Amino acid sequence: MKNVCVFASSSTKLAAIYKKEARELGRRIAQRGWGIVFGAGTEGLMGELARGAAEFGGSIIGVIPDLMNKKGIVYEQCTTLYDTRTVRERKAIMEEKADAFIALPGGFGTLEEILEIITLKQLGYHSKPVVLLNTNGFFDHLIAQFDKTVSQSFAEKDALSAFAVFNDIDAALQYVDTYDPAGAYKKYDD
């Protein structure tokens, strides 16, 4: 069974299109017999993702710092819940438990998490698939910034192959399912 780590917003003020997509992603992951690894929040896209996975009996691995492990914040129906001392410990467990990574739209935490995963892949610490699910064009400006980073020689063009961008859940999950790590980009070869 694959576990897909999904980074996502916990904001409660989001447009319905984002909530619908998060819930559908949870459903589709569970329908494939895969589990989710996520930040264990009950609100926002995190909560929608988990509820979608739960609808199809999916495995739900939540990882939450003890600072946030409180009623009303934590998704209490996790199959497995890890409580960590720090956010850094949280991210390490999420990375360890995941076979793939998908970023849904999110705030600074979501962006920091997915950029760290992309960086770790670029440096050769993992060779797992990494996806930006570009719901409603959310990541368009970030992708433009990546292109600018390459065009101005702050990164090599091959670095853009460390992740994939999809507007469609099925295409994103197909990429994860058929991903071949053999040719994964690494900034520093052995």
Residue 96: its H or E element = helix 87-97
Which CATH number is 3-178 given? Answer: 3.40.50.450
SS3 state at 84: strand
Q: What residues does each domain of the chain span?
A: 3-178
Please state, in angstroms and rounded to a whole number, the distance separating the CA atoms of residues 158 and 178: 20
Q: What is the pLDDT along the chain (190 residues), one digit of tens a residue?
A: 799 999 999 999 999 999 999 999 999 999 999 999 999 999 999 999 999 999 999 999 999 999 898 898 999 999 999 999 999 999 999 999 999 999 999 999 999 999 999 999 999 999 999 999 999 999 999 999 999 999 999 999 999 999 999 999 999 999 999 999 887 767 776 5
Q: Provide the Cα torsion 180, 102, 18, 50; round to 10°.
A: 110
Please state, in angstroms and rounded to a whole number, the distance separating the CA atoms of residues 8 and 113: 9
Place of tokens 């609808």: 55
Q: What pLDDT, on a 0 to 100 scale, did the predictor assign at position 189?
A: 64
Q: What pLDDT, on a 0 to 100 scale, did the predictor assign at position 82?
A: 97
Residue type, 143: I
> 5: closest CA among 69, 111, 93, 122?
93
Pairing outcome for strands 3-7 and 35-38: parallel
